[in-house]
Structure 1
Amino acid sequence: MKPSIIAAILVTAASAGAAQAQTVMRCSHQLPPAHHIALVVDKWAAEVEAQSEGSIDVQVFGADSLVKANDNILAVAKGEIECAFSLNFQWGKTLPIMNVTVGPYTMSSIDAWKKWPTSEAAGYLEAKLLEKGVKNVAWMFQTNVSVFTSNGKFMQTPDDFKGVKMRGLGPAFDRGLEAMGATTVSLPGSEVYQALATGVIDAAVTDVAAAWSRKYYEVQDHFVVVPVLAAYLHGYVTPGFYDGLTDAEKQALQVAGEMAAGWAIDASVEASASAPDQLRSTGAQVHVATDAENEAFKAVMQPAFAAGFEAESGADGKELLDLIAKIQ
């Protein structure tokens, strides 16, 4: 066999070996492609690949295209997929302390969110997540500005919620909505548009930027902008998968996660600032809640949430709240 042919075979074999050595990491999330945090997830994926010098092949599947939103946590914990991203309130009763930031008017400071990824509070949650079968690798702040959406009129006082059927976010937060007279329905974000369009629900509460990216303005015509909760998306992997990574690959995940935390804050601040005018541009009616209106919401919602959060999270919730106080 000619030396040139032998060399070509060796090069091909080496390339095949390198390809086989590449670690595939499939990551599922629920966000639509245009969502500002979906774009951050894509950027994070590219950064993981760059930091690992291509040894990790990150394959992102958004918009519920690989695993449904409510199934992501279990799929990763069982090792059916390697990675997923979930919103904090999707942990529900499995790990209710994840809902600490959705306490009405509890953690709306951007400065606090800048400190979050390396804080004791985040470390505390990471340990609890590991106990539930997932290894956290990224914190992505999504919003501290929400909207109450509706048709026909603004929902700008607690009385406006009486008799309204609306999408809730989780047991503790929903107590605040129910205290104002609403009936809540549990739905993943990807199903809310259709539920609003068909009248299954009358109204919703969501990130102001999500109201734009998910095109709620096509099925709702009134939006009240409120700093009622803070939400985050977080990325996590199967612990067994993580343990099998090289030290360099683990470092790549850490560096990319730290960078993505900053990108998420920048993207979320920009999206929250522009979304109200984007909604107005469609002809939707947008009202920014006044201080007095926010105080009226807070007076009803906060005690209801606090009672529910305490009942669900016990001593762990109290400890976490104390840690969060350090970065406020």
Structure 2
Amino acid sequence: MFAHARKLLAATAVATVALTLSAHAADLIISTGLGKPHLWVGAHMDPFADAIEKGSNGDVKFTRFYAGELTSVGRELDALTSGTISVAAPLLAPYHEGRFPLSDVTQLPTYGTDSPMVTRAFQKLLDSEAKIKGDQTFHDYEIASKGIHVWALGATAPYSISTVKKVLKEPADFNGVPLRAGSALHTIMLEKLGATPVTMPGSQAFEAASRGTIEGLVIAISDWPSYSLQQLLRHSIVDVSIGHWESYLAISDQAWNDLTDDQKALFDKTAREVALTNAQEWEARVGTVRDESIAKDGGEFTSINDLSPAMKAHVETAAAETWKAWIEKTEANGHPARATAKLYAELIQAEGGKLPAGVAEYLAQ
């Protein structure tokens, strides 16, 4: 009788331990629409998932999907809220038309900015308690109602204007030239320059440039290898940032709420750390790609400071006008773009970045 009781107690204890462990375990589906060569995959998604699995002693595990195997670029939010995936790495907000109206603020043109600076500034924007509309912070307005928790990615390196054959030396050289724009904000900048924007994701740019559908792109130089563009692009204007592409590592509220407090703390800590490591990768690759392009393909990288005074003034004016146009267009659609731009401007200047001439005065009005 006593032996039977001991066996029953032992079995109950084992079952209790197993139940406790299973309650703390989490099997999450993590998905990206990007391919493995992209720095937001090989240098962000995978290191993040590896670190969480290791840091949780295997209690949190990921099933990983790549290159749109489960959900494509621009469909990440729907996949998260429907429960198709647990984590989007990344959720590319600018491809979700109209749903994240303020998130492309980091694509506003700046000077002297790099990936780590923008990553820190964007995470601070997400964390900020400053109100941009009524009692709403940036996070309240842009994220809170969407059923997700988010963190900044490592921002891309500065976006530059790069072409296949045409050399852009004077303002008139932009006239009517078809250039790829990756977002609505890039479209504004190209229109201000006098070019013809052609909106498309980076994955379509190689074919379009090969066929001559576009003459060049607005894109980060460090992103060329992700789309094999180093085989095509030869002429780039640098030292003026056509913004930096930022977006989100996102987990659904449902998946988040199933995590323990310790797992949530690990998730938050790891997301912040990996974003900064990823930003350093973006920045380091700029030099590597430039050196290889110069050595192997005869690539040319011309500083805006080495252009003619007329060309430099043309680009600088377009950069300033892009801030104004984005703010006024977004405000006309009912969103607090001015307050968001002003807050971001303060954060990026605190990191050491500079605004185009006239922007600070415009924001102060």
Which amino acid in the other structure matches residue 24 of structure 1? Answer: D
Given that 1:105 and 1:298 are in contact with CA atoms closer than 8 Å, whether structure 2 keeps it comes out as: no
Query: CA distance change for structure 1 residues 244 and 15 in 2, over 3 Å: closer, same or farther?
Result: closer
Query: CA distance change for structure 1 residues 133 and 199 in 2, over 3 Å: closer, same or farther?
Result: same
Equivalent residues in 2 for 1:88-237 (5 A)? 88-105=93-110, 108=113, 112-113=117-118, 115-116=120-121, 119-123=124-128, 124-225=137-238, 226-237=240-251
Alpha-carbon separation, structure 1, partners of 2:87 and 2:112:
27
Given that 2:177 and 2:196 are in contact with CA atoms closer than 8 Å, whether structure 1 keeps it comes out as: yes
Shift of 1:290: 2.5
Alpha-carbon separation, structure 2, partners of 1:222 and 1:274:
16
Alpha-carbon separation, structure 1, partners of 2:116 and 2:219:
22
Structure 1 stretch displaced more, 235-244 or 291-300: 291-300
Equivalent residues in 2 for 1:1-328 (5 A)? 22-38=25-41, 39-84=43-88, 85-105=90-110, 108=113, 112-113=117-118, 115-116=120-121, 119-123=124-128, 124-225=137-238, 226-291=240-305, 293=307, 294-313=312-331, 316-327=336-347, 328=349
Query: CA distance change for structure 1 residues 44 and 118 in 2, over 3 Å: closer, same or farther?
Result: same
Structure 1 stretch displaced more, 93-102 or 151-160: 151-160
Structure 1 stretch displaced more, 207-216 or 301-310: 301-310
Larger gyration radius, structure 1 or structure 2: 2
Given that 1:28 and 1:67 are in contact with CA atoms closer than 8 Å, whether structure 2 keeps it comes out as: yes
Greater RCO, 1 or 2 (C-alpha within 8 Å, sep 6+): 1
Q: Please, which runs of 5 or more residues in structure 2 have no aligned partner? A: 1-9, 129-136, 350-365
1:185-211 Cα deviation digits (max 9, x unpaired): 222222222222233323211111111
- Which residue does the alignment assign to 2:357? none
Shift of 1:305: 4.1
Query: CA distance change for structure 1 residues 29 and 156 in 2, over 3 Å: closer, same or farther?
Result: farther
Partner secondary structure for residue 105 of structure 1: coil
How high is the TM-score relative to the length of structure 2? 0.76
Alpha-carbon separation, structure 2, partners of 1:247 and 1:20:
12
Given that 2:108 and 2:243 are in contact with CA atoms closer than 8 Å, whether structure 1 keeps it comes out as: yes
Given that 2:176 and 2:195 are in contact with CA atoms closer than 8 Å, whether structure 1 keeps it comes out as: yes
Which amino acid in the other structure matches residue 340 of structure 2? Answer: L
Shift of 1:315: 5.5
- Which residue does the alignment assign to 1:4? none
How high is the TM-score relative to the length of structure 1? 0.84
Shift of 1:181: 2.2
Alpha-carbon separation, structure 1, partners of 2:141 and 2:123:
16
Which amino acid in the other structure matches residue 71 of structure 2? Answer: V
Partner secondary structure for residue 179 of structure 2: strand
Alpha-carbon separation, structure 1, partners of 2:111 and 2:335:
18
Which amino acid in the other structure matches residue 280 of structure 1? Answer: I
Which amino acid in the other structure matches residue 320 of structure 1? Answer: T
- Which residue does the alignment assign to 1:3? none
Alpha-carbon separation, structure 2, partners of 1:138 and 1:121:
8
Given that 1:22 and 1:56 are in contact with CA atoms closer than 8 Å, whether structure 2 keeps it comes out as: yes
Which amino acid in the other structure matches residue 172 of structure 1? Answer: L
1:289-325 Cα deviation digits (max 9, x unpaired): 2326454312124314422333214552222223224
Which amino acid in the other structure matches residue 101 of structure 2? Answer: P
Given that 1:121 and 1:320 are in contact with CA atoms closer than 8 Å, whether structure 2 keeps it comes out as: no
Alpha-carbon separation, structure 2, partners of 1:121 and 1:139:
8
Partner secondary structure for residue 299 of structure 1: helix
Structure 1 stretch displaced more, 282-291 or 200-209: 282-291
Alpha-carbon separation, structure 2, partners of 1:86 and 1:247:
24
Alpha-carbon separation, structure 2, partners of 1:192 and 1:81:
28
Paired positions, count: 320
Which amino acid in the other structure matches residue 278 of structure 2? Answer: A
Partner secondary structure for residue 119 of structure 1: helix
Q: CA RMSD in A?
A: 3.1
Structure 1 stretch displaced more, 45-54 or 195-204: 195-204
Shift of 1:231: 1.7
Structure 1 stretch displaced more, 112-121 or 204-213: 112-121
